[in-house]
Amino acid sequence: MSVVDDIRDKLDIVEVISGYVPLRKAGRNFKARCPFHTEKTPSFTVSPERQTWRCFGACATGGDIFNFVMRKDNVEFGEALRRLAETAGVEVSSRPKEQVDLEESLFRVNQEAARFYNEMLMSPEGRAALKYLNDRGIDAKAIEEFQLGYSPKGRDRLRTHLATLDANLGHATQAGLLRSDDEGNVRDFFFGRLMVPILDRRGRVAGFGGRSLDGSNPKYINTAATPIFDKQATLYALDKAASAIREQETAVIVEGYMDVIAAHQNDRRNVVASMGTALTERQVYLVRSLTKTVVLALDADAAGQEATLRSLEASWRAMERRRFGQRQEVALRIAVLPEGSDPDDIIRESVDRWDEIVKSAVPYMDFVIPAMARRHDLSTPQGKGRAAEALMPIIVSMGNAFEQDRYFGQLADTLGVTRDQLQASIGKLRLAARERRPAGPQPGAPPSSTTVSPLASGDRDPLEEFVLKALLHWPELLDVVEDHTPEEFRRTENRELFTQLLAAGTIDELQHRLDESLAEHFTRLTESDIKPTTRQSAPRAIQDALGRLKQRHLRDRQAEILESLDIEPGAELPKDIEDSIASVNDELKEGFLVGAREKPRR
């Protein structure tokens, strides 16, 4: 039995949810006011029979204990699993012991280095570094909180220190603290620099940033990638900012470490830094579980903006495209700083001014449309074409029809074309998307219905697993899932894997971000046989299986609605339930129509 099943067996959903919201018995079910949105009449239902919950109100969503804890505690699947495992007294299998031991050792040696650097900062040798911090208005409390330090000159000070402690120098090298030179001498990697320890989400020292103090280049060097440090997937100070981000429902991302420290020192604790890289998808992924609103504070300087814009274009477009697979949409807003000032200047001069700037951040598209217009020569048809080409995919992929329409109009105005002309170009994009989708039966394709039972058997759900196996086998077919949502998967581990796969886009990336709790499931699926499905028959087979998952999901929802109806017999049908019934019926009808249309003609 998998850990997920073990936990599901040991915990009762009514008990788990009662720990968060008071539930009232109502017929076969339990009801409450929805914990995820504000409402007067309870539309949140928990079914002890199905061990599921559903909000019939504004959220219009549901799931099991895992989804509930993920949403309520704002955590990823792995963390929800660990929390519930603890409650259930179930042990979660983890990574191989050697790997855990190695990582622990690397964290330990980093921690010792941070302590050593901090001691050096307070010694006579650290005077220049300390003066630099004082000049930038960073006080003693912040130095302590952020564990700032100084790596002394000479290239063997840390190594000597670690050697006297009998520390594992091989691990210090693996952690990026030491490095062998051409002659094979092991030397300190950082020397003569102000040291900024970079902590992971759990507050452990994962790496360092080192700032030069004598104007030498590069101004900053960071720890290279190590088993415990990957700057693409790190946001500086997220460990300290997480609770403020959650409370204030906004994360502010700046560029520099010193900006973050200045902000926190002035009680603006929802600020993190992007590690000198342009914002990566993985970094956005990190804050996504904490908040829906991300404000990116950009330098006024044009070159910097240009670089940021280019990187955002790429990563944000990818996110927009995949966001139907995500639990939450992320609203990215841009705050442009006044010319010639760094965030930390502004914060030190006036916190109110800083608050104003953050508050005045504009939605990403409101920033990007004019910025893109400046970049292309809109007096020529070619320039207009390129600007439209860059922006239309983002607009077309927007989930919100109202926003889509607004930006569509804004883009048409900016380009100086009519809506009709722009509409024509959308038509082409949509058409292109459709042409990529497989059409009609492939010769020699085995009908998936004979190979996959639609019924979940025992611990597994072959239909769901078939979809995942096929997608893991041929990730290039991810486009096929366009109209499907993770909620159509009944089993949480499958739902989660599907969500992560959509967000990741590639197997490499998936493996990178996959929580250890899902690794085993992932391995089993990737290793199991997919015959007789072939690459050629796969698109059709995946679509078929997904179609059936969708039908099943809709029927589940119908049943849930009917169950919730017998709560108060004879009572008038609440409006939201009535709406739910209507919408499920519509979807089912549509599903059958689509199914009928797509039937292979022989």
Nearer to Zn ion, 52 or 105 (CB): 52
Please select the residue that binds Zn ion; options are 29, 46, 47, 57, rule is CB under 5 A.
57
Q: Does the footprint of Zn ion cover residue 59 (CB under 5 A)?
A: yes
CB contact set of 249 (below 8 Å; sequence gap of 6+): 291, 292, 293
Q: Which stretch binds Zn ion (CB under 5 A): 34-42, 145-153, 412-420, 447-455?
A: 34-42
Q: Which stretch binds Zn ion (CB under 5 A): 37-45, 172-180, 280-288, 294-302?
A: 37-45
* Chain centre distance of CA 406: 26
| CA–CA distances in Å: residue 140 to residues 131, 146, 216 | 12, 10, 26
Nearer to Zn ion, 59 or 92 (CB): 59
Nearer to Zn ion, 45 or 118 (CB): 45
Site for Zn ion in 211-230 (CB under 5 A): none
Nearer to Zn ion, 57 or 197 (CB): 57
Q: Which stretch binds Zn ion (CB under 5 A): 54-62, 205-213, 241-249, 512-520?
A: 54-62
Q: Does the footprint of Zn ion cover residue 36 (CB under 5 A)?
A: yes
Nearer to Zn ion, 55 or 195 (CB): 55
Q: Does the footprint of Zn ion cover residue 34 (CB under 5 A)?
A: yes
Pairing state of beta strands 178-180 and 293-298?
Answer: unpaired
Q: Helices in 232-326 by DSSP H: which ranges?
A: 238-248, 257-265, 281-288, 302-322
Q: Are 58 and 2 in contact (CB under 8 A)?
A: no
Q: Does the footprint of Zn ion cover residue 437 (CB under 5 A)?
A: no
Q: Least distance in Å: CB of 445 to Zn ion?
A: 42
Give dist(CA 51, CA 556) in Å, integer. 12
Give dist(CA 256, CA 138) in Å, integer. 14
Q: Does the footprint of Zn ion cover residue 62 (CB under 5 A)?
A: no
Q: Least distance in Å: CB of 580 to Zn ion?
A: 12
Please select the residue that binds Zn ion; options are 11, 17, 21, 55, rule is CB under 5 A.
55
Site for Zn ion in 397-436 (CB under 5 A): none
Q: Does the footprint of Zn ion cover residue 32 (CB under 5 A)?
A: no
Q: Which stretch binds Zn ion (CB under 5 A): 30-38, 235-243, 359-367, 491-499?
A: 30-38
Nearer to Zn ion, 32 or 497 (CB): 32
Neighbours of 392 (CB within 10 A): 18
Q: Least distance in Å: CB of 69 to Zn ion?
A: 16
Q: Does the footprint of Zn ion cover residue 37 (CB under 5 A)?
A: yes
CB contact set of 194 (below 8 Å; sequence gap of 6+): 121, 129, 132, 133, 148, 149, 150, 210, 211, 213
User: Total binding residues for Zn ion by CB under 5 A?
Assistant: 6
Nearer to Zn ion, 50 or 269 (CB): 50
Closest to 133 in 3D by CA, of 344, 336, 307, 296: 344
Q: Which stretch binds Zn ion (CB under 5 A): 33-41, 225-233, 534-542, 581-589?
A: 33-41
Q: Least distance in Å: CB of 45 to Zn ion?
A: 10
Q: Are 472 and 525 in contact (CB under 8 A)?
A: yes
Give dist(CA 125, CA 152) in Å, integer. 7
Tokens of 136: 């930038």
Give dist(CA 394, CA 270) in Å, integer. 28
Nearer to Zn ion, 71 or 240 (CB): 71
Nearer to Zn ion, 103 or 487 (CB): 487
The 3-state DSSP class for residue 73 equals: coil
Angle at 368 between CA 366 and CA 372, to 5 degrees: 130
Residues that bind Zn ion (CB under 5 A): 34, 36-37, 55, 57, 59
